Amino acid sequence: MRRVQSRGYLQCSVLVAISLAIGLVFVLFPGTSGADRNLIQGVWVERESFLMGTRFRIRVRAPDRPSGIHTIDNAFGAVALYEAMLSTWIQDSEISRLNRTQVNAAVALSDDLGDLLSQAVHWSEETEGAFQPMVGALLDVWGIRSSGRIPTKEALDGALSSIGQGAIDLDFAAATATRRNRSAWIDAGGFGKGAALMAAAREIIKAGARDALLDFGGQIMTLGSPAGDQNGWLLSVAHPQRRFEPVGALRVTNASVATSGASERHIVVKGRRLSHVVDPRTGQLVPPWGSVTVVSEDPLAADAVATALFVLGPEAGMEWARDRLDIGVLFLIEGSEGQLEKRWNLQMTPWLQETGNESFQSGPRNGDDEI
């Protein structure tokens, strides 16, 4: 099977607010000088669609408006194909059909689905199960996709035995999947958006466009440099609970940015507000502790790792991220008295920026420091 890959390029220019998985990140476009405007040819075209249950906005620079519209429509079309393959809300999607197959009956995987599942399994292995695509039984037992419930110990133990590779056998050499447990199913929620961003970016690159901004329900992917320089996108990172309060800034190039947390999505059971994030290793809900922002050239990796690191929490998550050369990580940790602690790994250091009221004044010592 061929592996789906993509590269992103982050650069910037006008003020937009981009919502991440939690809170907001404000993307600052500083504007373009007269000299730059003379050098940069083409027109900016922006369109928006609703795909995979969320808003997808693309802004691309093209030779003219019709060609820009055509490029964006092709990108939306690529994402629609991924939705038809990955959405568990669409009954006849490829992944939904797989999730309904009879136990012990091997089914063929398409090249694209096999490639994406192999990448998802890779990140599950890299994070020692903190990210788990075959987690559907746990979502069911907690009622995450319905009104929520508190499972009995027996039900929770049953769900834990119905997740992971023991419950669904993925044979990538044979390009088959076999459900071994009738409660087992694959959820693409932790990697599907990143995968779709890769597909959209490939369409834009194929059209010859060099500069574009893709905002898919808050996960960001960019191509090129609207300002004609290499300074990158300036992102003002919001407080985990107070979404319009900036607490730091990143300036990022050649990467995708994803954030995970539990402050805005939740379930309510018997008057109790509970996290919507399940730890696949224990079956328990992850208590809110703040947020984690991940920067990676690979949007699927950014998507999956952000979920995994929120599950791991700031201590184990920082230990995991400490020596990673491919992924930048920023933790925003809420204290018991409302204080906010910031930690990041060395790979994030080049992207940390000073802005007006908020700044990162010193780098991490040994990959782990706090302000």
Q: What is the pLDDT of residues 70-93, one digit of tens each?
A: 999 999 999 999 999 999 999 999
Give the distance from CA 229 to its chain's centroid. 26
For the cut 60, the answer to whether the pLDDT of residue 364 exceeds it is no
What pLDDT digit, counting tens, does each position of 205-249 carry? 999 988 888 999 888 887 777 665 667 777 778 888 887 888 888
User: How many other CB atoms are found less than 10 A from the CB of residue 337?
Assistant: 5
Q: Is residue 158 part of a domain?
A: yes
Query: Which of these, 185, 64, 172, 51, lies nearest to 118 by C-alpha position?
Result: 172
The predicted pLDDT at position 24 comes to: 44
pTM of the model: 0.84
Question: Residue 54: its pLDDT value, please?
Answer: 93
Domain extent for 178: 103-187
Among residues 117, 165, 156, 118, the alpha carbon closest in space to that of 137 is found at 156
Give the pLDDT of residue 34. 43
Q: Does any domain span residue 176? A: yes
Angle at 215 (CA atoms; ends 213, 216), nearest 5 degrees: 140
Average pLDDT, stretch 169-194? 96
Give the helix, strand, coil percentages of the chain, each rounded to 5. 30, 25, 40
Please give the Cα distance from 357 to 251 (Å, whole number). 16
Q: Is the dihedral of CA 334, 335, 340, 346 positive or negative?
A: negative
**Is 80 part of a structural domain of the chain?**
no
pLDDT > 70? residue 19: no
State pLDDT tens for residues 111-143. 999 999 999 999 999 999 999 999 999 999 998
Per-residue confidence at 11, pLDDT binned at 50, 70, 90? very low
> Total structural domains in the chain?
1
- Domain annotation covers residue 245: no
Asked if pLDDT for residue 358 goes beyond 70, the answer is: no
In this prediction, residues 34-41 reach a mean pLDDT of 47
Which residues are 233's β-sheet partners? 252
- pLDDT bin (cut points 50, 70, 90) of residue 155 is very high
Does residue 21 sit within a domain? no
270/279 Cα distance (integer angstroms): 21
Nearest to 309 by CA among 330, 297, 292: 292
Whether residue 366 lies inside any domain: the answer is no
Mean pLDDT of 11-34: 40
Does residue 6 register a pLDDT over 60? no
Beta carbons within 10 angstroms of residue 166's beta carbon: 12
Percent pLDDT > 90 in the chain is 59
CATH number of the domain to which 161 belongs: 1.10.3980.10
Could you tell me if residue 156 is inside a domain?
Answer: yes
Average model confidence (pLDDT) across the chain: 83
In a domain, 112, yes or no: yes
Three-class SS of residue 174? coil
